[in-house]
């Protein structure tokens, strides 16, 4: 009977020596012994134990990352709303009901506030979740911020672990976990985590790092899920698009097949095109254009930004919003000249750092592929915020949210090449970790409330015109008109044509009965399209208080200038109701609900007017619509019950 063994030539050919096979175990007591090596099967139990041990290490590292994030950011759970939180949370009509989720994807942020270029529907979607669970309780929003930041750190860890494993780096789990922990506790990102409106950065990073981790698993199924994650990153923040080129860079560095790289290139183009189509199809009111920085000055700004960020990365001591590397807008000429001289030294330092960085990249290319990968990804992630392109600021701490992860990767792996002992290196790293965690913990109270945030930002160097305008507005809302006047005048010294400062200063003069000064400020503000509606509305109040005149024509002019501003429209409609012109008020409201059927407040106000004219059926429908569009509406159910009681009589 023929068998496979019968077909095997026994023994080597003459004069040919068979080399020993170290991975083979010869079969003893057989005629094949020493002739045909039989591969040994790896023991199943030890391999399984090793796999379980590795998995437990990964779970432990991920748990530690989450615990570290919550430990350093726990004080922010006691913080309230600051700055843009009122616009993105308290005044956004799209977060108040799950029914408005599709509509939220069709609008940019700041719907009922100053127009913006921010199309971030995923950020808005997370606010919908927070509102559903806790209405306007700020603790829930802060908890979500910390959780998203912690999960972004976990996916950063998983991505780095996969990357270092593919690059055959020893102690990959240790390196990945250390980098992720340093990243989640770094104080640079407090403006993204402690600030509810800063959620876009952690959310985009969460999706982006998850996408990179899935993409590096190098399978078609994981690639499909990675594509969805990259879409989520882009729809969380515009800078999330940087994860697409990062993915391609890593695939090239890992020497993946040309077909895989081409497939991912096509997929990246499709992802970018789909997100761009969603952005272009959304309703958008463009903000007023700002004068771009001259191209000749941008390299100087870029060098200063490098020096600024380098100092903040290593020793993040003086942290604040409204950071700027330009000497302009500082008020008097002497101060401007002094700051400009200091900035020249910063330009020189930036040039030295750039030269050193180039040397670092050349060294990494020859000696360490993992470091080289980190530096290339850092450059790709940093380029959009480097200062060469026109953005809404010259520098901002939270812009380093994603680039810093790759810089940490390159820095720590490069440090392993230094001629220092392992205990000494661990001690230095431990001290820096303690410093970073402590600084982050102490930074949390700076965001406690609006007053604390504004006063500390100004005291720490962020004394821009915008900060003084916001502080003046806060004083005005708390009936501190004299303090508001002082703050707003400081804002106008820094920026003489600041339109919001003019409106607020006029309102402060109005509170102190300085009617002529108030009128001067309002008239100046009418020359700016962005503040003209509010200025005409304030002038109507001024005419009534000074002369007792009902200048509804000014309110109508204000409404015509801002047809999509619900606050402006609401004030006119309420005034029509006060004048007894209910038919006109109802007609105006019905026109608004046809154009904007997603706003709960509009339906509730329409219900009030229908109830006032005893149109109970119409009032019932309006109140039910208001309830459906706001899951935490407490007034409409009570009013609906009263209407139903009237209908049952």
Residue 458 domain-assigned? no
- Same domain for 469 and 615? no
Which has more confidence, 201 or 45? 201
- Same domain for 36 and 61? no
- Same domain for 32 and 5? yes
Residue 453 domain-assigned? no
Distance in angstroms (rounded) separating the CA atoms of residues 282 and 302: 33
Q: What is the pLDDT of residue 329?
A: 55
| End-to-end Cα separation, the chain, in angstroms | 102
- CATH code of the domain containing 638: 1.25.40.10
pLDDT digits (tens, 9 = 90+) for 439-482: 999 999 999 999 999 999 999 888 888 999 999 999 999 999 99
Q: What is the pLDDT of residue 18?
A: 46
Residue 455 domain-assigned? no
Share of the chain above pLDDT 70, in %: 92
DSSP 39: E
pLDDT digits (tens, 9 = 90+) for 131-140: 999 999 999 9
Type and span of the H or E element at 269: helix 258-281
Q: How confident is the model at residue 64 (pLDDT cuts 50, 70, 90)?
A: very high
**Which residue, 561, 569, 513, 563, is CA-closest to 541?**
513
- Same domain for 37 and 59? no
Range of the domain at 638: 563-649
Residue 616 domain-assigned? yes
Domain count along the chain: 4
Please determine, for residue 98, whether its predicted confidence score (pLDDT) is greater than 50.
yes
- Same domain for 36 and 102? no
Residue with the two structure tokens 């969805």: 228
Q: What is the pLDDT of residue 194?
A: 95
Helices vs strands, H then E, count in the chain: 28, 2
Residue 450 domain-assigned? no
One DSSP character per residue, 195-234 reads SGGGGHHHHHHHHHHHHHHHHTT--HHHHHHHHHHHHHHH
- The average pLDDT across 507-525 equals 94
Q: What is the pLDDT of residue 510?
A: 94
Residue 195 domain-assigned? yes
Contact assessment for residue 67 and residue 59, using Cβ atoms and an 8 Å cutoff: no
Distance in angstroms (rounded) separating the CA atoms of residues 58 and 71: 20
- Same domain for 67 and 22? no
Instruction: Tell me the residue length of the chain.
Output: 649
Q: What is the pLDDT of residue 125?
A: 96
- Same domain for 544 and 571? no
Q: How confident is the model at residue 24 (pLDDT cuts 50, 70, 90)?
A: very low
Average of per-residue pLDDT values in the chain: 89
In this structure, of 49-53, 119-123, 134-138, the range with the lowest mean pLDDT score is: 49-53
Task: Tell me the CB-side half-sphere exposure of residue 56, using CA atoms within 13 A.
Answer: 6
Last-in-domain residue among 388, 410, 444: 444
What residues pair up with 107 in beta bridges, in sequence order?
A: 283
Last-in-domain residue among 560, 577, 611: 560
Q: Is 135 left (phi over 0), alpha (psi -120 to 50) or beta?
A: left
Q: What is the pLDDT of residue 333?
A: 60
Distance in angstroms (rounded) separating the CA atoms of residues 514 and 507: 10
- Same domain for 232 and 268? yes
Alpha-helical (H) ranges within 135-199 are 138-166, 172-185, 190-193
Residue 490 domain-assigned? yes
Please determine, for residue 395, whether its predicted confidence score (pLDDT) is greater than 70.
yes
Residue with the two structure tokens 């780096």: 169
Q: How confident is the model at residue 23 (pLDDT cuts 50, 70, 90)?
A: very low
- Same domain for 185 and 332? yes
- Same domain for 353 and 396? yes
- Same domain for 95 and 9? no
Last-in-domain residue among 412, 444, 476: 444
Distance in angstroms (rounded) separating the CA atoms of residues 247 and 231: 13
Which tokens belong to 542? 């001024």
- Same domain for 221 and 262? yes
pLDDT digits (tens, 9 = 90+) for 250-298: 999 999 999 999 999 999 999 999 999 999 999 877 777 777 778 888 8
């Amino acid at each position: 009977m023929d068998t496979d063994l019968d077909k095997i030539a026994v023994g080597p050919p003459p004069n040919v020596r068979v080399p020993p096979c170290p991975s083979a175990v010869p079969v003893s007591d057989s005629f094949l012994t020493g002739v045909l090596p039989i591969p040994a099967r790896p023991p199943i139990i030890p391999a399984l134990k090793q796999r379980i041990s590795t998995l437990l290490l990964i779970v432990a590292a991920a748990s530690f990352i989450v615990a570290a994030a919550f430990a350093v950011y726990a004080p922010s759970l006691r913080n309230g709303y600051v700055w843009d939180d009122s616009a993105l949370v308290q005044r956004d009509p799209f977060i108040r009901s799950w029914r408005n989720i599709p509509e939220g994807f069709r609008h940019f942020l700041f719907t009922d506030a100053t127009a913006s270029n921010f199309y971030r529907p995923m950020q808005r979607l997370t606010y919908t979740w927070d509102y559903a669970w806790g209405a306007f309780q700020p603790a829930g929003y802060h908890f979500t911020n910390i959780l998203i930041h912690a999960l972004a750190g976990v996916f950063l860890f998983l991505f780095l672990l996969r990357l270092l494993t593919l690059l055959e780096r020893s102690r990959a789990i240790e390196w990945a976990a250390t980098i992720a922990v340093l990243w989640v506790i770094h104080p640079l990102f407090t403006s993204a985590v402690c600030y509810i409106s800063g959620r876009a950065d952690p959310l985009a990073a969460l999706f982006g790092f998850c996408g990179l981790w899935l993409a590096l698993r190098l399978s078609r199924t994981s690639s499909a899920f990675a594509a969805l994650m990259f879409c989520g990153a882009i729809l969380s923040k515009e800078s999330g698009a940087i994860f697409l080129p990062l993915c391609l860079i890593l695939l090239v560095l890992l020497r993946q097949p040309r077909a895989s790289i081409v497939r991912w290139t096509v997929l990246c183009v499709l992802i970018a095109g789909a997100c761009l189509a969603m952005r272009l199809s959304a309703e958008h009111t463009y903000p007023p254009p700002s004068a771009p920085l001259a191209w000749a000055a941008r390299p100087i700004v870029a060098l200063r930004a490098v020096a600024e960020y380098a100092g903040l990365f290593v020793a993040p001591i003086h942290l604040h919003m409204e950071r700027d590397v330009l000497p302009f807008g500082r008020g008097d000429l002497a101060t401007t000249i002094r700051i400009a001289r200091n900035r020249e030294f910063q330009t020189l330092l930036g040039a030295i750092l750039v030269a050193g960085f180039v040397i670092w990249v050349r060294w990494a290319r020859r000696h360490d592929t993992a470091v080289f990968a980190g530096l290339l990804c850092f450059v790709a992630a940093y380029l959009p915020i480097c200062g060469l392109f026109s953005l809404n600021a010259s520098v901002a701490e939270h812009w380093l949210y994603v680039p810093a992860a790759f810089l940490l990767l390159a820095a720590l792996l490069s440090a392993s090449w230094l001629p220092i002992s392992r205990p000494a290196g661990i001690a230095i790293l431990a001290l820096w970790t303690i410093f970073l965690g402590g600084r982050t913990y102490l930074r949390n109270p700076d965001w406690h409330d609006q007053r604390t945030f504004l006063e500390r930002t100004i005291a720490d160097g962020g004394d821009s015109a915008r900060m003084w305008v916001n502080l003046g507005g806060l004083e005005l809302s708390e009936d501190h008109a004299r303090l508001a006047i002082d703050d707003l005048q400081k804002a106008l010294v820094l920026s003489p044509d600041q339109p919001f400062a003019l409106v607020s200063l006029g309102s402060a003069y109005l509170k102190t009965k300085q009617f002529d000064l108030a009128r001067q400020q309002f008239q100046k503000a009418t020359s700016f399209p962005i503040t003209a509606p509010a200025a005409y509305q304030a002038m109507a109040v001024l005419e009534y208080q000074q002369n007792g005149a009902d200048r509804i024509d000014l309110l109508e002019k204000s409404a015509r200038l801002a047809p999509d501003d619900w606050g402006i429209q609401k004030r006119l409609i309420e005034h029509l109701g006060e004048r007894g012109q209910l038919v006109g008020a109802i007609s105006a409201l019905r026109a608004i609900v046809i154009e904007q059927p997603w706003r709960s407040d509009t339906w509730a106000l329409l219900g009030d007017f229908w109830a006032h004219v005893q149109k109970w059926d119409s009032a019932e429908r309006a109140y039910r619509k208001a309830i459906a569009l706001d899951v935490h509406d407490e007034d409409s159910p009570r009013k609906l019950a009263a209407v139903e009681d009237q209908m049952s009589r």
